[in-house]
Chain A
Amino acid sequence: NAGVTQTPKFQVLKTGQSMTLQCAQDMNHEYMSWYRQDPGMGLRLIHYSVGAGITDQGEVPNGYNVSRSTTEDFPLRLLSAAPSQTSVYFCASRASGGGSSNQPQHFGDGTRLSIL
């Protein structure tokens, strides 16, 4: 049971480079989201998706793009990396229905990204 799988686990980029953080889940969850975790700030929502073909902005969306072409995958793209995007990125998914607000999030193990 893989759950939520993120790749890569670590990445170092130079300022201005672009890259895609991959996220896949095998639980048939409709809801998926991306967070960044910075010291003393908890997790902040970057983008989220309520189903294939539907995405929306979270709290800190600038500099990031997402797409959701399948239920399983939700990649996060950094268009032009900046040092302020150095962070740990977490992908999460959760089921819908059955009182969806009560459904817990399932998190991946994170991608540690450094921008030089």
Chain B
Amino acid sequence: AQSVTQLDSHVSVSEGTPVLLRCNYSSSYSPSLFWYVQHPNKGLQLLLKYTSAATLVKGINGFEAEFKKSETSFHLTKPSAHMSDAAEYFCVVRNFNDYKLSFGAGTTVTVRA
């Protein structure tokens, strides 16, 4: 079985400061890991994905995430938050050759001017 735990339900940052969203996972097999962003009243948009290549993954809009197998973590970071980053973020895991995704509960990010 696979599961995802997002350690923070809500993160608040000031514009221009770093953002850290924490995600731990459990997986029986080599996982694929994803981060999605959801803006209000919208569907989910892929930010980045880890697929057993480089452990540091760069995504869109300046986000990146680092896969740490020893810590079973896949934390998402951005060096400088922008107002447009205010959204909900989901960490997602899929086992190798398994169709089903497991979603974390989500982290809501607010950005203060």
Interface, chain A (partner B; CB < 8 A)? 4, 31, 33, 35, 40-45, 48, 50, 58-59, 90, 92, 99-102, 104-105, 107-110
Which residue in chain B gives the minimum CB-CB distance to A42?
B103
Q: With both chains docked as a complex, state the minimum distance between the C-beta of A40 and any C-beta of chain B, in angstroms.
A: 5
Q: If A31-B99, A101-B94 touch, does A42 touch B41 (CB 8 Å cutoff)?
A: no
Q: Is A102 touching B49 in the complex (CB atoms < 8 A)?
A: yes
Q: Hey, what's the 0/1 contact readout for B33-47 against A, CB within 8 Å counting as 1?
A: 010100001111110
Interchain Cβ contacts within 8 Å, total number: 58
Q: Is A48 touching B99 in the complex (CB atoms < 8 A)?
A: yes
Q: With both chains docked as a complex, state the minimum distance between the C-beta of A109 and any C-beta of chain B, in angstroms.
A: 5
Q: Is A101 touching B95 in the complex (CB atoms < 8 A)?
A: yes
CB-contacts of B37-73 with A (<8 A): 41-46, 49, 51
Q: With both chains docked as a complex, state the minimum distance between the C-beta of B26 and any C-beta of chain A, in angstroms.
A: 15
Which residue in chain B gives the minimum CB-CB distance to A59?
B100
Q: With both chains docked as a complex, state the minimum distance between the C-beta of A110 and any C-beta of chain B, in angstroms.
A: 6
Q: When chains A and B are docked, how far (Å) is the Cα of A50 from the Cα of B43?
A: 21
Q: With both chains docked as a complex, state the minimum distance between the C-beta of B105 and any C-beta of chain A, in angstroms.
A: 5
Q: Is A104 touching B99 in the complex (CB atoms < 8 A)?
A: no
Q: Is A104 touching B43 in the complex (CB atoms < 8 A)?
A: no
Q: When chains A and B are docked, how far (Å) is the Cα of A33 from the Cα of B103?
A: 14
Q: When chains A and B are docked, how far (Å) is the Cα of A108 from the Cα of B106?
A: 18
Residues of B within 8 A of A110 (CB): 41-43
> Which of A44, A90, A99 touches B43 (beta carbons < 8 Å)?
A90
